[in-house]
Amino acid sequence: MSSHLLRAAALDVWVAARERAIEELSAEALSLERSGAISKAAHLRFAAEHLSIHMSRERAEAQALRSASTDQPFERISLQ
């Protein structure tokens, strides 16, 4: 496996972990809002947003790495 594909696979693992963390933070924020802890909920939502930004970048990087590893230049063949 190429180094590009290995890095893409590692980024996929990070993306999945961030998705789970975002879900947990959002659920906890909702619970805090319902109990009246609006400030704490806002901090959790901010953290979830921050993770979401990183997740989007990592997902795009993984896709670019996969694309780069499949874009093999063609060899020129001389027909002479």
Does the predicted TM-score (pTM) go above 0.85?
Answer: no
State pLDDT tens for residues 25-70: 999 999 999 999 999 999 999 999 999 999 999 999 999 999 988 7
State pLDDT tens for residues 2-19: 899 999 999 999 999 999
Q: Is residue 74 one of the residues assigned to a domain?
A: no
For 26, the domain range is 3-68
Number of domains in the chain: 1
| pLDDT value, residue 46 | 98
CA-CA distance, 19 to 57, in Å (whole number)?
Answer: 13
Can you say whether the dihedral through the CA atoms of 70, 75, 76, 79 is positive or negative?
negative
Q: Is residue 79 one of the residues assigned to a domain?
A: no
Is 73's pLDDT higher than 60? Answer: no
Q: Is residue 75 one of the residues assigned to a domain?
A: no
> Which value, in Å, is the radius of gyration of the alpha carbons in the chain?
20
